[in-house]
Homo-oligomer: A and B are copies of this chain.
Amino acid sequence: MELKVKRIDIEAGGMEIILNEEDAKELGVYPQDRVKVRLGGMIVTALVNISQSMIKSGEVGMFIEISESLGARNGDRVRIIPTSRPMSVDFIKKKMHGEKLSKDEIYEIVKDISEDNLSAIELASYITAVYIRGMDMDEVEWTTRAMVNTGETIDFEYTTFDVHSIGGIPGNKYAPVAVPIAASAGLKIPKTSSRAISSAAGTADLMEVLTNVELSVENIRRIVDEVGAILAWGGAVNLAPADDKIVRVEYPLGIDPHSQVLASVMAKKKAVGVDFLVLDIPMGPESKVPDEKTARKYATDFIALGERLGIVVEAAVTYGGQPLGRAIGPALEAREAMRALEGKKVSNSLIEKATGIAGILLEMGNVVDRGKGKDYAKTILKSGKARDKFLEIVNAQGSKGIESSDDVPVGKYKVEVPSPEDGYISYLSNHGLIRIARAAGAPKDKGAGIILNKKKGEKVDKGETLYVIYADSKAKLEEAEKIAKMLKPLRIEGMLLERIPSYQK
C-alpha cells in the first residue's frame, strides 16, 4: 500500500508510525504489528499505531525517529508492507515457559533491544519473564557478552582496574578518593560511573561540579594512558547500550532481575576492557542488599560471572545502614571528597571505606602484599599524592578551575534542622534523606543537598543542629524543609529508654 507522509515532530521512543484505521484494516495490521516502510531505496521496520481521526486514509503519520531515518518529508509517498514479528518475540515466549535460552537466542533479543526493534510491551514482557523465571550462569554470560557486542568497546594494551558499587547509599563518594590513591600507585583505572537516577548524586554528578565528565572513547584512552585514570560519565559513551533501554522498563515496574543486574554491571566493565574489579556491596535495611545471605549471593555470582568473562572480581560488603561521610548532594560531596584528599578532617567512615577499597585494588595489582593494601592506601592519602593525582585527572578531563575544597561552591540558601529533644541518634533513613536532598534540588541543582551534623549513635542536645539543608533557590529550600518536617529522617531515642515503675503494692 502506498501512503503519503505526514510528519509528526514528536519522539516516539522508537521507530513508530500511525496509520488510519481503514488503511490498517485493509493491510490487515493491528496496533503494535510491524511493517516495512520503503522510501526510494531505503527500507526500515516500524511499529504500527492506529488513529481514527488525526491521520486520514491515504496518509501515514511518521514520528521523528523514522522520518529522520528515512529522510522523509511531508507529502513523500512511501510503501507499507506488513511484516512478521522478529524472532525475539518467540524467544521471549520460550523464557515465559521457563526454558533455557541459547546463546544465539539471547543475542537476537539483546540486539533487538539495543536497536529498538522491540516494543515497550515486548520488552516489559521479557523483563517480567526473566524476573520470574531467572537465568542460569550460561544465560547471564551470554546476555553480558551480547550487551558488550552490541555497543562500543575500548581496549587497553595494559592491565586495568575498576571499582563499582551495586545499590549504593547516600553520600557514597568513596570512588573520587579511592581511584586517585590507586592511580598514584601506578594502577590504570578507566572508571566510568552513572548519574543519579533516583538518588541525590551519582559519582558522575559529583565529578561534574569540578570537571567535564563527557569524554569520547579517544579521550578516555588518552587520559588513562597519560594520567592513569578517569572519573567520567559512562553514558557519554555508547557502552552496552541495551542496558539503558532495559532500565527504562525496569524503573516503572520497580523490578530489577538479579541476572540482569549481573549482566548490566559486568557488560559496562567488559566494554571498557576492565581486568580487575572491586565490587562494593553496601548492605543495610534500606538497600538492595538487606542481609548477609543476599550479599554473599551477589558476591559469588559476580565472581563466577567475572571468571567466565576474564575479569577478576573481589567483593567488599560494606556498611550501608547510613550515609557515607556527612555530605549528600553533588557539590557538598565533591567538597567532602576533596577534603579527604587534602588530609582535612572528614568523617572516619569515608576514609575507612575509600582506603579499604583502594587497598584491595593495590593488593590485586600486586603493588603490596595481601593484608597490607589499606595501610599503604592510607600512606598514599596522607602523602598528598592522591590529591595531586585527583587534580591531574580533573585537569585532563577539563577542569572548571576549582583547585581546593574551600573553593567548591555550595548552595547559597541553607537551613539548620534542630533536634526536638535530648538523646542519641538511633536511626537514619537513607530514603528520607534522599527525598529531602532531591526536594532541595539535587542532583540538578549542584549546590543542593544535606550536611549531617549527627550520625548514628551520636549524642544530641535539644535544639542542637541535626543537619543542614542546602539549596540553590529559596523556594526549593522551603519545600525541602517542609518535607524534612514530615519525614523526620533521624530518629532520636531519649537517654531514658525504658521506665520501670516502682513496686506497686
Binding site for B on A (CB under 8 A): 8-11, 13, 18, 22, 25-26, 28, 30-33, 49, 51-54, 61, 64, 85, 89, 92-93, 96, 98, 119-125, 127-129, 131-133, 197-198, 248-249, 251-255, 438-439, 441, 444
Q: Pick the contact of A131 from B61, B96, B439 — CB < 8 Å?
A: B96
Q: Is the CB of A96 within 8 A of B128?
A: yes
Contact A30 B128 (CB under 8 A): no
CB distance from A385 to the nearest CB of B (A): 37
A89 touches B253 (CB 8 A): yes
A407 to B175, CA, bound (A): 83
Contacts of A31 in B (CB 8 A): 13, 248, 251-252
The answer to whether A252 touches B96 (Cβ under 8 A) is no
Find out whether the CB atom of A51 lies under 8 angstroms from the CB atom of B255.
Answer: no
Write the nearest CB–CB distance from A253 to chain B, whole angstroms: 5
Closest to A30 in B: B251
A124 — which chain B residues lie within 8 A by C-beta? 120-122, 124-125, 128
Which 5 A-B pairs rank lowest in CB-CB distance, beginning with the nearest?
A32-B252, A124-B124, A121-B124, A128-B128, A125-B128
* Contact call A10/B89, Cβ cutoff below 8 A: no
Given contacts A51-B10, A54-B9, A124-B121, contact A33 B129 (CB under 8 A): no
| Min distance, Cβ A225 to any Cβ of chain B, angstroms | 33
Q: Check A89 against B122 for contact (C-beta < 8 Å).
A: no
Bound Cα distance from A28 to B18, whole angstroms = 31
Residues of chain B with a CB closer than 8 A to A125's CB: 124-125, 127-128, 253, 255
Using CB atoms, name the residue of chain B closest to A28. B438
Q: Once the chains bind, are B33 and A96 in contact (CB under 8 Å)?
A: no
In the bound complex, residues from chain B placing their C-beta under 8 Å from that of A53 are 11
Q: Which of chain B's residues have a CB closer than 8 A to the CB of A198?
A: 30
Assess whether B8 is in contact with A254, with CB atoms less than 8 Å apart.
no
Contact A252 B33 (CB under 8 A): yes
A28-B438, A128-B128 known; A255 vs B54 contact (CB < 8 Å): no
Instruction: Return 27 A-B CB contacts under 8 Å, by A number.
Output: A10-B18, A10-B51, A10-B54, A11-B51, A13-B31, A22-B444, A26-B444, A28-B439, A30-B198, A30-B252, A85-B252, A85-B254, A89-B253, A89-B254, A93-B254, A93-B255, A96-B132, A96-B255, A119-B252, A120-B121, A120-B124, A121-B121, A121-B253, A122-B252, A124-B128, A125-B253, A128-B129
In the complex, what distance in Å separates the CA atom of A49 from the CA atom of B252? 12
Complex Cα gap A502–B124 (Å)? 62
Bound complex: CA A92 to CA B254 (Å): 11
Interchain CB contact (< 8 A) of A252 among B61, B121, B133, B252: B121
Known contacts being A96-B128, A124-B121, is A251 close to B32, with CB within 8 Å?
yes
Which residues of B have CB within 8 Å of A13?
31, 49
Contacts of A121 in B (CB 8 A): 120-121, 123-124, 249, 252-253
Least CB distance, A49 to chain B, in whole angstroms: 8
Please indicate the chain B residues that have their CB under 8 angstroms from the CB of A127 in the complex. 125
Q: What's the nearest-Cβ distance from chain B to residue A322, in Å?
A: 22
Enumerate chain B residues within 8 angstroms of A441, measured Cβ to Cβ.
26
A12, chain B: closest CB distance, angstroms = 9
- CB-CB under 8 A from A22, the residues of chain B are 444
| Distance between Cα atoms of A120 and B22 in the complex (Å) | 24
The residue of chain B having its C-beta at the shortest distance from the C-beta of A53 within the complex is: B11
A431 to chain B, nearest CB (A): 13
Query: Shortest beta-carbon distance, A202 to chain B, in Å?
Result: 13
Among A18, A53, A85, A121, the most chain B Cβ lie within 10 Å of the Cβ of A121
Residue of B nearest to A31 (CB): B248
Residue of B nearest to A476 (CB): B26
Give complex CA distance A133, B133 in Å.
10
Chain B hits for A252, CB < 8 A: 30-33, 85, 119, 121-122
CB contacts (< 8 Å) of A64 on chain B: these are 54
Determine the residue in chain B with the shortest Cβ distance to A89: B254
| Docked pose: A25 CA to B52 CA in angstroms | 34
**Closest B residue to A438 using CB positions:** B28
The smallest beta-carbon distance between A52 and chain B, in angstroms, is 8
- A82 CB to closest chain B CB (Å) equals 10
Are the C-beta atoms of A11 and B253 separated by less than 8 Å? Answer: no
**Which residue of chain B is the closest to A247 with respect to CB atoms?**
B30
Q: Nearest Cβ distance between residue A81 and chain B, in whole angstroms?
A: 12
Give the docked Cα–Cα distance between A9 and B253 (Å).
Answer: 28
Complex alpha-carbon distance, A33 and B251, angstroms: 9
Q: A25-B444, A96-B255, A121-B124 provided; 14 other pairs, C-beta below 8 A?
A: A9-B54, A10-B54, A30-B198, A54-B64, A89-B254, A119-B252, A121-B121, A121-B252, A121-B253, A122-B124, A122-B253, A128-B128, A128-B129, A129-B132
In the complex, how many angstroms separate the beta carbon of A107 from the nearest chain B beta carbon?
Answer: 21
